Structure 1
Amino acid sequence: MYWGQSLIHELKGKQKVSTGISPSGPIHLGNLREILTGDIIYKSLLMDGKESEFIYLADDIDPLRKVYPFLPESYKEHVGKPLRDIPAPSGDGTYSEFYLNPFLKALKSLDVKPQVIKTGELYRDGKFGEIIEKVIEKKDEIRKILETISGRELEPEWFPYNPKCSVCGRINSTTVTGYSDTKVSYSCKCGNNGESDIYHDDGKLPWRIEWPAKWKILKVTIEPFGKDHGTVGGSYDTGKEIVEKIFEYPAPLPLIYERILLKGKGAMHSSTGVNIPAQEILSFAPPEIVRYIMARVPATRHIEFDPALGFLSTMDEFERLMKMEQEKNTTEEQHWIATLSKAGRPYETVPDYRHLTTLVQIYSSEERIGEILRSEGKDQDPDILKETIDMARIWVHNYAPEASKFSLKNTDDPVSINEDERKMLCDFNSKLGTLDSWEPEKIHECARESIGNSGMQPADGFKVIYRVLIGNERGPRLGFFLSVIPRERVLARFKTICGD
């Protein structure tokens, strides 16, 4: 049984899946795992015939915690202020919108369509008001829960609400001095004394209380979250106790997902700069592949993402799966993976990516590439073709290993080969000249026969052919590679070596 199906199969009644993030920096592939895991659970519920909703919470009232490596030092003055109140790095709009909007655009292309809820607006509209009243009323019980489960002692002046200073705008620099009639009195390090109205966005709950409060307010029944929240004594453990004992609401079904590691660099995290922004991923990866990367692996296992050759291997793996799906030759688990990898468009309209990474290094004309694909019997949607060509070019330029990059040698470019190698090439050229059709399989068979006749090892023979054609000892699959180059061009190149 597919992992998403096994998680939800026994559930009864209407379900609400929730995910969320603080838009404190570039939202990357690691962040995508949370919301795509939520989307996979949501769609698994629908596939299993269950009524379900899917929400995404943008925690835009969270404070800026520090000046991250990607920010200028001028942001030091904004540390402690809600992200929604800070100017964007671009100078246009707010900090939270600057990082959130590209992420929401990325979700649209991934066919992820949750109801987007901004936490700051929940506070502004008074949705937290009654909960905050109860939290303050039960503050001693909540203190005991937090200290007992987390094993950490809270400060004597701890209060379960953080007012926002009306002068400096910070949430992390105020100390509560009193509470009366929905107003929290405070003093701030900036010297200001004031009051915050708990029915407005004048402050916020601490995270370990805010999270279970959102479960109650929004009626959440399932939530995936990272392992940092799922440790013993972590925020899920304290949240579960608070929501059930204080708010009298059942804790949502948890799903702890593992991290995504960037090959050779470690776990992705916005604050460390070890990440690939979501928009960057989608500039070279078809959305189906991003979904497949998440769908194929149980959420409880880590993913190592290799944007170089490993990415092409994943593409090939996915192509094989989709071919099996079209032929109705998949297992039940494979069918679920294929279905949940789709991104709202027929996948048969997406051209072969690996093939394109070769074509874009030979031809600059999109029209010519389209002609080649059509000659191979592959009619393509023009918009999807252009989009995927652009993706392949970005991958080649930014992520392809040097050994995978090439440019065709000119017909008369010099090359250093010995006599045995020359004879093998001439035999290969002769065979190519007599082919009745310029097809990948026939071209590859000619190469194999000529190398075999020469007594050379296959690997050595192919190295010679690639060296003559592109100056490297490795290259794209030879038959497919030569089949998309005009036969006359290939024969002319070998003719300069063999003579008449």
Structure 2
Amino acid sequence: MSTLRDAAMNSKAWPFEEARRVLKRYEKKAPEKGYVLFETGYGPSGLPHIGTFGEVARTTMIKKAFEVISDIPTKLICFSDDLDGMRKVPTNVPNQDMLREHEQKPLTSVPDPFEEFDSFGDHNNAMLRRFLDTFGFEYEFYSATDFYKSGRFDAVLRRAAEKYDEIMAVMLKSLREERQQSYSCFLPIHPETGRVLYVPMKEVNAKEGTITFDDEDGREWTLPVTGGNVKLQWKPDFGARWAALDVDFEMYGKDHSTNTPIYDRICEILGGKKPEHFTYELFLDANGEKISKSKGNGLSIDEWLTYASSESLGYFMFLKPKTAKRLWWDVIPKMMDEYHQQLRAYPTQSLEQQLNNPVWHIHGGNPPESKMVVPFSMLLNLASVAGASDKDGLWGFIKRYAPEATPETHPDLDQAAAFAVRYYHDFVAPERQFRLPSDSERAALLDLVAAMKSPEAALAQIARKNAEAGSDEALPEADFHSDDFLQTVVFAIGKNHGFENLRDWFKALYEVLLGQSQGPRFGGFIALYGVEETVGLIERALNGELVQG
């Protein structure tokens, strides 16, 4: 039997593949700094979005995988580029006019439009940290403002002045001709206006560690590159940060991928060793467009957590990171159900299978037991037909279906019930469209009612289906509390009424009874909602009451 480390060294799960690449950096000797450094970067120009969280979640998965295959200590930092100038005002925040007065100032010098923190940068940093803390991420938060002003970047900034021509040679190759004329890797912060200036340098004095430039009014200034007087343009800043901190791993979105050679080369020019990289595909909104902090399209972190568990979001992040994924409301129920399916499968799997299971990576190798005895999609349908206004309205049905379940013993189910009611009222109810059944569907529904009222009628439907199929299979025990028996009855009636493709029969059930084209395993739905209640629902549908609203 293989050990955990042996299995991890051969696992095909992408976090282990990435962790093995990082380990190769130190095959000959351990890092001089005493640990392997994983970094995530964040530009706080707008409110944090799920993509930002995804970088930390995925990097944490790789970090945890690394800790299985190596005894070298690890550290994860979240670095905020909050000294960056606010180039435009985000459209999804208040006090737009006030913010416009502070354009081009560092984000930590822009007043907080929400009037809660010392600056807009501090506000956005706090939002990110608050969310990361709720997930229990082990990380250290680094602020560019603190690093530049405290002197922690001074050494690499002086080196950048010494290597200015080499850095500029790298950068100028990547720029259009008109941009080359005014470009400098140094961005001075104006001593009077506080604005971040995009101006060419008149002189870079490596010996003195100073830059000389003319401001927008033509006045000449000379500033030291140290002490927070100057910041680096974002591309050189990437490489400088890697060199200054000795970063071993960083992931970023596909939109950065063409810049990777630039980041790497500048890191090397400044005396560093380029880190391992991982490029992930972008998240898309409902229209297939890239989600953006400034636009506020796509889902926010808080919005996801209003309707689903944090673990379901972690599951979404684990899946196929190199494939572009649509990040919209309708993915939430699927992620909730698939996460718990994987959680239920975990205890029965081999060690190799467990290491490939997303829940191992979501929970750092220690996944909990799933208590979701009712799938989330089923809870949504139950909320629909029960007209529940809160989770308590679902628990009466749940306890009849699973008598051993209580909110205290099944907290994940209790949480999911609340999510389901909220999700149903906000997204399902407004879109429901009931229809009347066709004549053939009406006949089948009447037989379904008769079968649910009488065990004899139910068994007769199964016997008829078996006879037409030439099967001599013994009839099951009639048990209206059993998902499987009820599903067999529904299936038999569909067959007996000539539905060649049973999808059409189930689609009819969903459209007539639930007002939607997709739905749950119907036998399980009947068992959860109740046989008598389902009979009443069908009779209301046959009478046209559901269409009338």
TM-score normalised to structure 2 length: 0.77
- 1:291 maps to what in 2? 314
Separation in structure 1 between the aligned mates of residue 283 and residue 510 of structure 2, nearest angstrom: 36
Q: Does residue 216 of the first structure (1) align with residue 243 of the second (2)?
A: yes
1:303-382 to structure 2, matched below 5 A, reads: 303-329=324-350, 331-332=352-353, 335-342=356-363, 346-349=368-371, 352-361=375-384, 362=386, 363-375=388-400, 376=402, 377-381=404-408
Cα deviation, residue 340, structure 1:
0.8
Separation in structure 2 between the aligned mates of residue 136 and residue 419 of structure 1, nearest angstrom: 82
- 2:49 maps to what in 1? 28
Separation in structure 2 between the aligned mates of residue 426 and residue 157 of structure 1, nearest angstrom: 78
- 1:449 maps to what in 2? 492
Question: Aligned partner of 2:454: which letter?
Answer: T
Q: Does residue 60 of the first structure (1) align with residue 106 of the second (2)?
A: no
Q: Does residue 170 of the first structure (1) align with residue 190 of the second (2)?
A: no
Separation in structure 1 between the aligned mates of residue 357 and residue 437 of structure 2, nearest angstrom: 52
Separation in structure 2 between the aligned mates of residue 493 and residue 285 of structure 1, nearest angstrom: 28
Q: Which moved more, 1:287-296 or 1:263-272?
A: 263-272
Question: Aligned partner of 2:319: which letter?
Answer: R
5+ unaligned residues in a row in structure 2: which ranges? Answer: 1-11, 456-478, 544-549
Contact 2:76 2:139 in 1 (8 A): yes
SS of the residue corresponding to residue 56 of structure 2 reads: helix
Separation in structure 2 between the aligned mates of residue 69 and residue 31 of structure 1, nearest angstrom: 18
Q: Does residue 204 of the first structure (1) align with residue 204 of the second (2)?
A: no
Contact 1:260 1:303 in 2 (8 A): yes
Could you say if the C-alpha distance between residues 268 and 452 of structure 1 is closer, same or farther in structure 2, counting changes exceeding 3 Å? same
Cα deviation, residue 110, structure 1:
3.5
Cα deviation, residue 207, structure 1:
1.9
Query: Which of 420, 431, 439 is equivalent to 2:482?
Result: 439
- 1:389 maps to what in 2? 417
Could you say if the C-alpha distance between residues 441 and 213 of structure 1 is closer, same or farther in structure 2, counting changes exceeding 3 Å? same
Q: Which moved more, 1:123-132 or 1:64-73?
A: 64-73
Question: Aligned partner of 1:479: which letter?
Answer: G
Cα deviation, residue 115, structure 1:
0.9
Separation in structure 1 between the aligned mates of residue 390 and residue 304 of structure 2, nearest angstrom: 24
Deviations 1:216-248 (A, max 9, x none): 2222111112233321xx2x3223222223x22
Question: Aligned partner of 1:78: which letter?
Answer: H
Separation in structure 2 between the aligned mates of residue 444 and residue 322 of structure 1, nearest angstrom: 24
SS of the residue corresponding to residue 267 of structure 2 reads: helix
Cα deviation, residue 336, structure 1:
4.9
Could you say if the C-alpha distance between residues 406 and 356 of structure 1 is closer, same or farther in structure 2, counting changes exceeding 3 Å? farther
Contact 1:406 1:472 in 2 (8 A): yes
- 2:459 maps to what in 1? none
Separation in structure 2 between the aligned mates of residue 170 and residue 272 of structure 1, nearest angstrom: 24
Contact 1:444 1:479 in 2 (8 A): yes
Contact 1:149 1:237 in 2 (8 A): no
Question: Aligned partner of 1:291: which letter?
Answer: G
Query: Which of 245, 261, 271 is equivalent to 1:248?
Result: 271
Could you say if the C-alpha distance between residues 479 and 207 of structure 1 is closer, same or farther in structure 2, counting changes exceeding 3 Å? same
Query: Which of 15, 23, 33 is equivalent to 1:4?
Result: 15
Query: Which of 144, 152, 156 is equivalent to 2:169?
Result: 144
Deviations 1:166-211 (A, max 9, x none): 3221012566566685555554326776664544223312223222
Separation in structure 2 between the aligned mates of residue 323 and residue 493 of structure 1, nearest angstrom: 32
- Number of paired residues? 484
Separation in structure 2 between the aligned mates of residue 190 and residue 347 of structure 1, nearest angstrom: 66
1:474-489 to structure 2, matched below 5 A, reads: 475-489=519-533
Contact 1:285 1:391 in 2 (8 A): yes
Question: Aligned partner of 1:285: which letter?
Answer: A
SS of the residue corresponding to residue 6 of structure 1 reads: helix
Query: What CA RMSD, in Å, does the superposition of the two structures yield over aligned residues?
Result: 3.4
Separation in structure 1 between the aligned mates of residue 91 and residue 36 of structure 2, nearest angstrom: 39
Contact 2:480 2:486 in 1 (8 A): no
Separation in structure 1 between the aligned mates of residue 369 and residue 237 of structure 2, nearest angstrom: 41
Q: Which moved more, 1:147-156 or 1:161-170?
A: 147-156
Q: Which moved more, 1:46-55 or 1:314-323?
A: 314-323
TM-score normalised to structure 1 length: 0.84
Q: Does residue 88 of the first structure (1) align with residue 112 of the second (2)?
A: yes
Separation in structure 2 between the aligned mates of residue 446 and residue 89 of structure 1, nearest angstrom: 60
Contact 2:43 2:81 in 1 (8 A): yes
Cα deviation, residue 83, structure 1:
0.7
Q: Does residue 70 of the first structure (1) align with residue 95 of the second (2)?
A: no
Separation in structure 2 between the aligned mates of residue 176 and residue 292 of structure 1, nearest angstrom: 48
Cα deviation, residue 114, structure 1:
1.5
Contact 1:163 1:204 in 2 (8 A): yes
Question: Aligned partner of 2:523: which letter?
Answer: G
Identity of aligned residues (%): 20
SS of the residue corresponding to residue 254 of structure 1 reads: strand
Separation in structure 2 between the aligned mates of residue 131 and residue 419 of structure 1, nearest angstrom: 79
Contact 2:391 2:418 in 1 (8 A): no
SS of the residue corresponding to residue 313 of structure 1 reads: helix
1:264-283 to structure 2, matched below 5 A, reads: 264-283=287-306
Separation in structure 1 between the aligned mates of residue 88 and residue 537 of structure 2, nearest angstrom: 60
Could you say if the C-alpha distance between residues 350 and 130 of structure 1 is closer, same or farther in structure 2, counting changes exceeding 3 Å? farther
Separation in structure 1 between the aligned mates of residue 518 and residue 237 of structure 2, nearest angstrom: 56
Cα deviation, residue 132, structure 1:
1.5
SS of the residue corresponding to residue 256 of structure 2 reads: coil
Cα deviation, residue 24, structure 1:
0.7
Separation in structure 2 between the aligned mates of residue 272 and residue 213 of structure 1, nearest angstrom: 29
Could you say if the C-alpha distance between residues 31 and 493 of structure 1 is closer, same or farther in structure 2, counting changes exceeding 3 Å? closer
Contact 1:223 1:254 in 2 (8 A): yes
Cα deviation, residue 330, structure 1:
7.0
Separation in structure 1 between the aligned mates of residue 516 and residue 104 of structure 2, nearest angstrom: 54
Structure scoring higher RCO (CA < 8 A, sep ≥ 6) equals 1
- 1:411 maps to what in 2? none
Deviations 1:59-94 (A, max 9, x none): 111111123443535433222110111122223322
